[in-house]
Homo-oligomer: A and B are copies of this chain.
Amino acid sequence: MAAARDEISDAAFRLFGIQGYAATSVDDIASEAGVSRSTFFRSFGSKEAVIFPDHDEILGRVEERLRSSPADAGLAAVTDAVKIVLFHYVAEGERARERYGLTSTVPALRERELVSGARYQRLFRRYLSHWADASPEAELRAEMTAAAVVAAHNRVLRRWLRRECTDPQREIEQALAAVHRTFADESEASIGMLVVPAGVPASAVEKAVKRALEGIAVRNLDQ
């Protein structure tokens, strides 16, 4: 059952690696996997889908993670959920890199991947704008935030796929901290106000500001 799916997926990656994507027909994959064309299309709806075998499952896990988070979790829940996606691919290891080789070569597959990313973004936006108030500004903010979270994920993932990054854990934390820094709203990030009595030296002001900014970064990381 599930073994058949893996069998087919493996066969597909094998043939794509040898002959290329376009030159490999669904019939080729099916016979390589020892199943019929019918079962291929029953297992995966399309030739493209065989490259992304467990996308629906990940999306489901992400959605559940968001659903089970408290209403006031806000951005933190989303940045947390996106790590599920990243670490899933990292855990796949070489298979993820094979997929990357295909998606960066074959336009149709690249587009398919893009569509997957957009589904996450849509999900994030829905949750973020649901948590926030209903003002138009808040909705635009939610949309931008969702886009930024996905962008951060994509960036780290791409770097890892290209072996430009050895510690995806650290990089995603940093990238998401940057997202927090620019998007965490007032209820999460306390508004700081610096009251400077006349006569305080500029160096002391500078020091205080720096310390305050570092504090924001650190707090967002731990939250």
Give me the interface of A with B, judged by CB distance under 8 Å: 111, 114-115, 118, 137, 139-141, 143-144, 146-148, 150-152, 154-155, 175, 178-179, 182-183, 193-198
Contacts and interface: CB of A to CB of B under 8 A. Distances in A.
Determine the main DSSP class of A at the interface with B.
Answer: helix
Given A114-B118, A155-B139, A144 B195 contact: no
A151 B155 contact: no
Nearest to A107: B115
A178 B138 CA distance: 11
Contacts of A144: 147-148, 151-152, 178-179, 182
A144 B180 CA distance: 12
A193 B194 contact: yes
A154 B144 CA distance: 10
A110 B20 CA distance: 28
A152 B144 CA distance: 7
Contacts of A195: 195-196, 198
B178 A152 contact: no
